[in-house]
Amino acid sequence: MKARKFSWAALPLVLGIASWAAPAAAHDGDGDNGRDHRASAATIAIRQHFFGAENVDARTGEVRDDRVIFSWTTNASLAVSVEGRIILLDTYINRPELPPAPGQPDLRRSPLTPQDLVDLEPEAIFLGHGHGDHADNAAFIAKQLNIPIYSSPETCDVMQADVQRMFNDPNTVNGGAKIIPDGNPVTCIPVVTRGSVPGTEIVHLKQLEPIACIVAFKHIHSGTVPTDPDFPFVAVNPDSDPRESSLYPRLTSLTPGATPVPGQEDLRTTGFGTIPGSPGGPISLFYQFVLRGDNNFTFVWHNTTGPLKEGAGSDPGLPSPAVGAHLFQIMDSLPATDVEFGSIVSLGQTTNGVRDPILYNQHIKPQVYISIHETDATPISSSLRFKIAYQKAVVAADVPVRPEARWMVDPDDFIRPMVYDPRDDRWEKHADDDHAIRQFCGH
């Protein structure tokens, strides 16, 4: 790959990564959204479920090519149709078809199975980081569809380990049936250099060209730091019910309707652990999607929100406030963001509330902020508590520019299409943004 330096001396190198030639069933690679392909009945049905029947051709399964449509599946996971090109942002879902773990309440309410994500026929998977509440099912889906996963090289290690676990699993729960056809590796594309310091590379991913440019860089996973005396602390969950489970139970089978063996470890999904010697779990990537043409509609997705002010985390080069400040500088330099899907949850919420999501807002400067990561690692009733804390905090901090905040509530907003017209005048960009788009995406 050839590196191209920015005109801003303080910013890192920009690298280009070519797109993966996906199978014709997902995308034929010539920019026509695979219009010679007629989807199966299962794919047509699930696409209509995800993106709205009015937005999906009932004969071919094509999703309308003049809209960007988001559908929330669980936690920070989204299915997205970018003018008809379908991708997954994270792949974890709760498992409603399975009974709860012994002694645990039944908290899984996402009306999906991993097979639904396969039937959707996405052309690629993008992972923010490799923890189980984000990367579960990724290797399974990629294996079934022969599509690429974009992630850190450390998380790619975990994806290949998942393939081996799935293929070698005796799967006695389901009569010994093989979960995947073979043990060959999946295509996992490392977005950044192994062991790199966050923010030292900005990458242009070409998977959605010529429709959209994807900008990606490593940022910092959420973490706990001391209370910031310069930012007002607003508690998130002062009245949380202690009977609520802090984590949804993780179960064992990839086959809908199967009954798991009580206490059996799930060897077919990523899990919160990583393979020995690999720090793939918390290595975190930030993505901005910039549509070509018209108003260059843009959206950002980050499935974790780190304490960038302190630059604290487990990555190389940390802790370093200078690294955190540099990450904020990258965000400041991006093309103007129209919609931000950002984790409202931070491991630092007990000491700094929602400070970190608000600081991301201030540097990303979205017109619309949609909170994610509201179903796992938090009490199940906490979504609206986060909303209240966020609203109080932006007032207390006297945040000068505030995005339009839209809150999603589990389970009300699962699989509820969020439809955006990229040609709407609201998303019109200025000359400075044209310059930024050329810098990050080329012509």
Kindly report, residue by residue over 40-88, the tens digit of the pLDDT: 999 999 999 999 999 999 999 999 999 999 999 989 999 999 999 999 9
Digit-coded pLDDT (tens) for 227-262: 999 999 998 875 655 545 444 333 333 333 334 444
Q: Tell me 219's DSSP state.
A: E
How far apart are the C-alpha atoms of 110 and 103, rounded to whole Å? Answer: 20
* Per-residue pLDDT at 320 exceeds 80: yes
pLDDT score, position 10: 52
How far apart are the C-alpha atoms of 357 and 281, rounded to whole Å? Answer: 20
pTM above the 0.85 mark? yes
Question: Which of 223, 224, 217, 222 lies closest to 198 in space, CA to CA?
Answer: 217
Q: Provide mean pLDDT across the span 413-433.
A: 94
What is the chain's mean pLDDT, rounded?
A: 84
Digit-coded pLDDT (tens) for 340-394: 999 998 889 999 999 999 999 999 999 999 999 987 767 767 888 899 999 999 9
pLDDT score, position 32: 45
* Assigned CATH class of 13-441: alpha beta
Q: Provide mean pLDDT across the span 220-225.
A: 96
**432 pLDDT tier (thresholds 50, 70, 90):** confident
Note whether 220 and 287 are within 8 A (CB): no
Q: Provide mean pLDDT across the span 178-196.
A: 94
pLDDT score, position 256: 34
Q: Provide mean pLDDT across the span 311-337.
A: 97
- Written as one letter, the residue type at 289 is F
pLDDT score, position 313: 94
What are the two backbone dihedrals, phi and then psi, of residue 396, each rounded to the nearest 5 degrees?
-65, -35
Digit-coded pLDDT (tens) for 196-205: 999 999 999 9
The per-residue b/e assignment along 149-186, b for 16 or more CB within 10 angstroms, e otherwise, is bbbbbbbbbbbbbbbebbbebebebbeeeebbeeeeeb
pLDDT score, position 366: 98
Q: How many CA atoms lie within 13 A of 224 on its CB side?
A: 4
pLDDT score, position 7: 37
Higher-confidence residue of 4 and 51: namely 51
Look at the alpha carbons of 91, 92, 94, 98 in this order and tell me if their dihedral is positive or negative: positive
The per-residue b/e assignment along 400-413, b for 16 or more CB within 10 angstroms, e otherwise, is eeebebebbebbeb
How far apart are the C-alpha atoms of 75 and 409, rounded to whole Å? Answer: 10
CA distance from start to end of the chain: 18
* Per-residue pLDDT at 305 exceeds 60: yes
Q: Provide mean pLDDT across the span 164-175.
A: 78
pLDDT score, position 106: 55
Higher-confidence residue of 17 and 77: namely 77
Place of tokens 């990629």: 142
Q: Provide mean pLDDT across the span 82-98.
A: 85
Strand pairing class (149-151; 188-190): parallel
What are the two backbone dihedrals, phi and then psi, of residue 359, each rounded to the nearest 5 degrees?
-65, -40
Give the count of beta carbons closer than 10 Å to the beta carbon of residue 6: 15
Report the share of the chain in percent with pLDDT over 90.
60
Domain ranges for the chain: 13-441
Q: Provide mean pLDDT across the span 266-273.
A: 41
How far apart are the C-alpha atoms of 109 and 357, rounded to whole Å? Answer: 26
* Per-residue pLDDT at 268 exceeds 70: no
